[in-house]
Amino acid sequence: MATGIEAAGLVLGSIPLILAGLQFYAEGIAVTKRYWKYKEEVNNILYELRAENTMYVNSINMLLVGVVSQKDMTEFLADPGGGRWTEAKFDRKLRSRLGASYDSYMESITHMIMTADKFKEKLKLDGAGKPQFSEQTSFKEHYRRLKFSLRKSDYSDLMGKLRQANQSLYRLTTQTAYLDARQTSSKQDCQSAPNFRVIKDRADNFYTALSTGWNCPCQADHSVSLRLESRMEDGSGDEDDEDYEDEETMRDPFHVLFRFNHHHKTEISSTSMKPWTWEEADVRIEYEKQSSTATAACGGQIGKGVRFAKQAKKAIQAALEPQPNMQPIKDLCSAIYALQKPQRDVCFSLLANEIAKHKYGVHIYPTKQLPPDTDTWVVSSLRNVLDDSQFARRDRLKLAVTLASSVLQLHETPWLDENWGKDTIFFVKRPGRALYDQPFVSQNFNQTTPTPKTETPNAMSRIIRNQTLYALGVALIELWYGKTLAELHKDADGPHDTGIMQVDFMAEYNTADRLVDELYSEAGGKYSDAVRRCIRCDFDRRASSLEDAQFQKAVYQGVVAQLKENYEYMFQHHPD
């Protein structure tokens, strides 16, 4: 009977053999042409099994942390089932790590071994797990002789069992990691996360207002670029004072650039006459304040008095502030057109009539001065500037913090698609302004052709548990190396650029996953830890949605705060 560690190694060794066997058959089919009808089926089995294997390797990786030292890990994973896996001390450590869960662990692993064996049997692989013939050209004869099945449906039962065992193994591993983390890092708990939900709500409402705010007849693309901010200087307000905290967190407004995009236009007379090009503004999303009399009238709750006093204080503050020259508008395009003059002390109130319905108002404060030389402004995507030598490491690492924080502010809003990345983050080159400290995300309105969206293939979403965070991990890797993931690809990562989305996604994942380990020797522990957590969704939590408050907190502490500390450590002067 194999020990727990040995058993893990056996599975780790046998799935790649099955994969190799399947690959061999797939190539045989391609050569023979006789059985082309099975091509798709075999490729699908291959693809699903690869995904299960990756998931399994991740689980074992997580499980071995603390059992095998980081320096032994590479050697371990390179030789699954090899001599080192039988050393008794590792199994002792694993037992003490898993505690009462050791038995369920053994059960899952045993299931996986059995399933892998059945897989080999069904594919008629030999005792060593290899195909029983070696010439692809004679595939037809051997296929008839050995009578193995190439139908996907014949393997779905086994695949289901493998998936189930893999899933329970994963749960077990994350729970164990979670318990470990609880014991070792209780000090992190006192570092609470800013209230990003407030910003997310406002960003959502802003988008909704914008989508109804372009009623102009110009039929040109209009875009709104939202500047990304780290919004971490505010600290967290008093827990028991939510109103106060809300205002504090949103102390800084959204900063946006409006653009009248002429480039997509065909030869229409208005190309010579540009109504406007760029406009710059601050945007505040104001929620309708409950009138204090109404609150007082329906009273009866504890703490009302305190709340009332607070609201009264706010009302006085508001009354003392200078009233902006508020102009209700319905159509942003013509309002911005009317702004193209030097004197413009004005505030637009978008959808003023709808406030009653939506309970919020969008107040747009254009910059006091007309933005200069807007004709010369140039937009570059992050992809375009990745290898720019002017884009210094300091700017890159600062951007890393801003992007990580922005994920928590804008996830699941139209501003940040879950497949966001180097093609959706922009910089706007403006004369006399630093370029790289102001990243933007952009949305088109009034557009005639919809923007195509990338979707993650189904089986990949089993490995990538949170696409938005995975995208952040990829961006962090690319920012560090100044290269795209495709440029960092190595042959060992599997075929890429094939045009088959599943295959390309897998190769990309393999590159990212490999670089997670390589990054440690280059970028240091904090940065690399943050990247590892994003790529492998390694947060010691069962939840994997940023909507889950505890998960979001774990991401804040494990990624955003780490990146910020790393940046401050490297670039900010410490008095002591």
Under the rule (CB under 5 A), what is the footprint of Zn ion? 216, 218, 333
Q: Which is nearer to Zn ion, 143 or 348 (CB)?
A: 348
Q: Does residue 506 contact residue 513 with C-beta atoms inside 8 Å? A: no
Nearer to Zn ion, 262 or 462 (CB): 262
Shortest Å distance, C-beta 340 to Zn ion: 13
Q: How far is the CB of 330 from Zn ion (least distance, A)?
A: 13
Q: What Cα–Cα distance (Å) separates residue 454 from each residue in 383, 418, 525?
A: 17, 9, 32
> Which residues are CB-neighbours of 185 under 8 A, at least 6 positions away?
none
Return the number of the residue (218 or 296) whose C-beta is nearest Zn ion. 218
Cβ neighbours, 10 Å, residue 158? 19
Q: Which is nearer to Zn ion, 341 or 357 (CB)?
A: 341
The SS3 assignment for 105 reads: helix
For Zn ion, the closer of residues 279 and 529 by Cβ is 279
- Provide the β-strand partners of residue 441: 226
Which letter, b or e, does each residue of 161-171 get, where b requires 16 or more Cβ atoms within 10 Å of its Cβ? Answer: bbbebbeebbe
The C-alpha atoms of residue 433 and residue 424 are separated, in whole angstroms, by 21
Pick between residue 446 and residue 566 the one whose CB is nearest to Zn ion: 446
Ramachandran sector of residue 278 (left: φ over 0; alpha: ψ -120 to 50; beta: rest) = beta
The CB-of-338 to Zn ion minimum distance in angstroms stands at: 12
Residue 251 makes CB contacts below 8 A (sequence gap 6+) with: 234
C-alpha angle with apex 484: 483 to 490, nearest 5 degrees?
Answer: 95
Nearer to Zn ion, 63 or 220 (CB): 220
Phi, psi (rounded to 5 degrees) for 500: -90, 115
DSSP state of 546: T
Q: How far is the CB of 263 from Zn ion (least distance, A)?
A: 15
Helix ranges (DSSP H) in 129-234: 139-146, 156-184, 196-212
Minimum CB–partner distance for residue 222 and Zn ion (Å): 6
Q: Least separation, in Å, of the C-beta of 283 and Zn ion?
A: 18
Q: Least distance from C-beta 363 to Zn ion, angstroms? A: 21
DSSP, collapsed to helix, strand or coil, labels residue 286 as strand
Nearer to Zn ion (CB atom), residue 275 or residue 494 = 275
- For Zn ion, the closer of residues 202 and 259 by Cβ is 259
Nearest distance from residue 421's CB to Zn ion, in Å?
A: 29
C-alpha to C-alpha distances, 86 to 3, 6, 16, 183, 276, nearest whole angstrom: 8, 6, 20, 29, 72
Least distance (Å) between residue 226 CB and Zn ion: 19
**Angle between helical axes of 196-212 and 393-410 (0-180°, round to 10):** 80
